[in-house]
Structure 1
Amino acid sequence: MTSEQRIGPIALPDSRAQRVLSTLLEGSGVTLNGEAPWDPQIYHPDFCSRILRQGSLGLGESFMDGWWECEQIDEMACRLLQHGLGERARPPADRIMYRLQAGLLNLQSKARAYIVGEAHYDLGNDLFERMLDPTMCYSCGYWKEAGTLHEAQLAKLELACRKLELRPGMHVLDIGCGWGSFAEYAARHYGVSVTGITISREQAELARERCAGLPVEIELKDYRELTGCYDRIVSIGMFEHVGHRNYDVYFQTVERLLAEYGLFLLHTIGSNHSEISVDPWIDRYIFPNGVLPSARHIADASENLLLMEDWHNFGPDYDRTLMAWRDNFDAHWHEIADRYSQRTERMFRYYLSVCAGAFRARDLQLWQVVFSRGRRARYDAPR
């Protein structure tokens, strides 16, 4: 059912699925076909049974299929999560299957490292250029004193450089360099040379263009292939793709590459819980094989390797960042609509909105953690 064929929301059939779903929503502030802007408007009679059967996967897929609309998906998601429906939206069979799969297989092995690059980051630079700001940062901005997305991303890059105490002549490793935002900023404003690695061919190509003329080298490489010694190491928005079975190897690699008096900054989305789980819709459509670390995961994997100098949480800033991306996406989609399907447009709109709601509900966090090798007399973290 396309948007052109729809006249208005349907009257939901009186079924067991409808009654069960309505009961689950009681107290959340979300009502099926309600009048609030965060109430979903239903256009398909099988909506309720699909949600009960497939959980969050069915909710996302049914939106992509045009089965429902909502003016404020972000607020809907926030209310559902605050009501405790996040984990309950994942069918028990799916949770068990993922745990078995993650226990038996290394879903983020070296051989599988490029899957997420091909599935998401290689989707099209033209799309991301319209969604992101001119820095091409695809990670949380720092809104403490910022009024626009661009100011927030510049503030994030500046904060990372200050936390790393960059000085001219240093050699910096950027693990997961994306489209070269940090590499370009650090080389241009702090006089350092940067080696950046990514698992996305599209990112590598554009990053090389953006950093042309600067002492920046961009490589298509997995972090486990790295050698050398670096004065500083930074990883912004990449650790979410490492996977719990590889956390030890990741921190061992950083420790091996970091100079004696060096600093390492880890910028990552974080989970409130140490249980290994994923949202099935995000896993299938946005970040295949991604998994969010908990504070315990990071602490356990870095212990006896690196000294944790500072831990900074500014998760609420990701809500504002995602909403700014969604505004950009909505405003510029018409420029590239002929190159992508309507299903892709709905997928991105849902992804950005739901994730904003998750940060608003404090269901997700954003951490910047600074490590050293414990040789320094003191470290004072800027804010």
Structure 2
Amino acid sequence: MAGAAPRLTALAEELLGTPVPVRIRAWDGSEDGPPGAPALVLRHRRALRRLLWRPGELGLARGWVAGDIDIDGDLYEALDRVAGLLWERDPADERGSGSGPNHGLRGLRGRLAALRDPRLHTAARELLVLAGPGLPPPPPREEVRRRRGVLHSPGRDRRAVSHHYDVGNDFYALVLGPSMVYSCAYWEDGGDLEGAQRAKLDLICRKLALRPGMRLLDVGCGWGALVLHAAREYGVHAVGVTLSTEQAVYARKQIAEAGLADRVEIRVQDYRRVPDGPYDAIASVGMAEHVGAVSYRAYAATLYGLLRPGGRLLNHQIARRPEPAEEAYSVDAFIDAYVFPDGELAPVGSTVSLLEEAGFEVRDVEAIREHYALTLRRWVANLERNWPQAVRLTSPGRARVWRLYMAASALAFEHNRIGVNQVLAVRTPGDGRSGLPLRAREWSG
């Protein structure tokens, strides 16, 4: 067999113990693998060095972000084909249970580390020869390193939020569209992205039973879409808090142009430092994923303390599937290094329990994971359609990060590896009057 690709395919199958599910196209132009499948393109030998020094998800991600690795063909199909190697449990995993994102990597790393097996030792040595001499390539500059401060302290959280959100408002406008809403839309058949985002904003307002004159706190307000909608359509006085300076600048401009500066305030402020409760309603949409397990009890207690008796909380949060106890705080390596530093996902049951421990009465949980898959596919399409401009506004590596994480996340929602839920909770007063209607989901009450 001539060329690097057939050798790579044979060696990979020997090491992995399973057929390679995509074609491999090597730096020398050779290609091998299943006919008609998308191709994993290794543009340089250093791509192979990245994979050998960090086998699994992070090595692939570094190669992708650096442009050493690419996909020729449908990105979703390629990610779907390699998901079994990256996210699903390796059949050789002797513990034999669970479906968390690290199980397949454990099996993959274990096989690559098992060099006492002479057969695997020979295959790994040949891969090292193919990779060529040299130290492991440095990680792309887009990767987060040198984290300072206590995990989920206000200062460290502010830096983590800035890494993700202060990429440039113009870049986000290309991806998100005119709504500038960076959370799961709420779809109806045949709808468009803007309509689905308006439907989501309105659903939140109705679940919170907003009425003129009420005070609304939006924790993690993003670019201000919810507070604008709530003030304009429901007549509330709203405060939005964010740790992103760029988001705040954009939101304040939108509020001023809408003539709502007397009713909507945007603060660059940690939710733990909001001084002016109580509020009649609180929304937390796509923010709690940044809170982390060590801080979630304090998060729930803080929101409870900021809400008046009888007030409602709408907590919209991505959730992961439950995992074995030893994997309870596992973090996705690519997401942690490139997308949401220090972000953590919890099962929805854990979220509900912690809200109840804080004193909330949980009244409704609506699972809408399919809606997020549809939303992400629209965002990916926006990014791909505006690719040259996205690269100019950020960097080639940053644009590649966003394309990979959004496409992979869409598949994760579609395959039920992760979900998203709207949890409606009430600070029910001592007399037990929740203020909710008797019939479920007649939100206005």
Calculate the TM-score normalised by the size of structure 2: 0.75
SS in 2 for 1:11: helix
Pair 1:204–1:20, CA change in 2 (3 A): farther
Q: Does 1:182 align with 2:184?
A: no
Q: Does 1:315 align with 2:363?
A: no
Partner of 1:40: 40
- Following superposition of structure 1 onto structure 2, how do residues 272-291 of structure 1 map, counting pairs within 5 Å? 272-273=321-322, 275-291=328-344
Pair 1:332–1:59, CA change in 2 (3 A): same
Contact 1:270 1:293 (C-alpha < 8 Å) held by counterparts: yes
Letter aligned with residue 295 of structure 2: N
Consecutive unaligned residues in structure 2, runs of 5 or more: 25-32, 90-100, 110-148
Letter aligned with residue 218 of structure 1: I
Q: Does 1:376 align with 2:398?
A: no
Q: Does 1:230 align with 2:231?
A: no
Contact 2:55 2:108 (C-alpha < 8 Å) held by counterparts: no
Partner of 1:150: 194
SS in 2 for 1:144: coil
Partner of 1:209: 253
Contact 1:183 1:211 (C-alpha < 8 Å) held by counterparts: no
Structure 1 residue 34, shift from structure 2 partner: 3.6
Q: Does 1:135 align with 2:172?
A: no
Structure 1 residue 45, shift from structure 2 partner: 4.8
C-alpha separation in 2, matches of 1:307 and 1:316: 26
Structure 1 residue 295, shift from structure 2 partner: 1.7
SS in 1 for 2:272: helix
Partner of 2:352: 299
Contact 2:56 2:108 (C-alpha < 8 Å) held by counterparts: no
Pair 1:116–1:192, CA change in 2 (3 A): same
Percent identity over the alignment?
A: 35
Pair 1:118–1:233, CA change in 2 (3 A): same
Structure 1 residue 347, shift from structure 2 partner: 1.8
**Deviations 1:60-92 (Å, cap 9, x if unpaired)?**
111122323143222333344467154235459
SS in 1 for 2:379: helix
SS in 1 for 2:425: strand
Pair 1:24–1:311, CA change in 2 (3 A): farther
Structure 1 residue 20, shift from structure 2 partner: 4.2
Partner of 1:359: 413
C-alpha separation in 2, matches of 1:81 and 1:197: 37
Structure 1 residue 296, shift from structure 2 partner: 2.9
Structure 1 residue 14, shift from structure 2 partner: 4.6
SS in 2 for 1:303: helix
Partner of 1:3: none
Pair 1:295–1:332, CA change in 2 (3 A): same
Calculate the TM-score normalised by the size of structure 1: 0.87
Pair 1:279–1:337, CA change in 2 (3 A): same
SS in 1 for 2:55: helix
User: How many residues are matched?
Assistant: 363
- Following superposition of structure 1 onto structure 2, how do residues 262-273 of structure 1 map, counting pairs within 5 Å? 262-273=311-322
C-alpha separation in 1, matches of 2:154 and 2:401: 28
Q: Does 1:117 align with 2:161?
A: yes
Letter aligned with residue 7 of structure 2: P
C-alpha separation in 2, matches of 1:211 and 1:37: 49
Structure 1 residue 222, shift from structure 2 partner: 0.8
Consecutive unaligned residues in structure 1, runs of 5 or more: 1-8, 95-104
Backbone CA RMSD of aligned residues: 2.6
Pair 1:145–1:189, CA change in 2 (3 A): farther
Structure ranking higher on relative contact order (CA contacts 8 Å, 6+ apart): 1
Partner of 1:260: 309
Structure 1 residue 23, shift from structure 2 partner: 3.0
Pair 1:150–1:285, CA change in 2 (3 A): same
SS in 1 for 2:423: strand
Task: From the CA coordinates, give the structure whose radius of gyration is larger.
Answer: 2
C-alpha separation in 2, matches of 1:16 and 1:34: 12
Counterpart selection for 1:11 from 2, 5, 9: 5
Contact 2:173 2:180 (C-alpha < 8 Å) held by counterparts: yes
Pair 1:50–1:35, CA change in 2 (3 A): farther
Letter aligned with residue 11 of structure 1: A
C-alpha separation in 2, matches of 1:116 and 1:15: 38
Contact 1:76 1:357 (C-alpha < 8 Å) held by counterparts: no
Contact 1:74 1:355 (C-alpha < 8 Å) held by counterparts: no
Partner of 1:97: none
Contact 1:265 1:368 (C-alpha < 8 Å) held by counterparts: yes
Letter aligned with residue 434 of structure 2: R
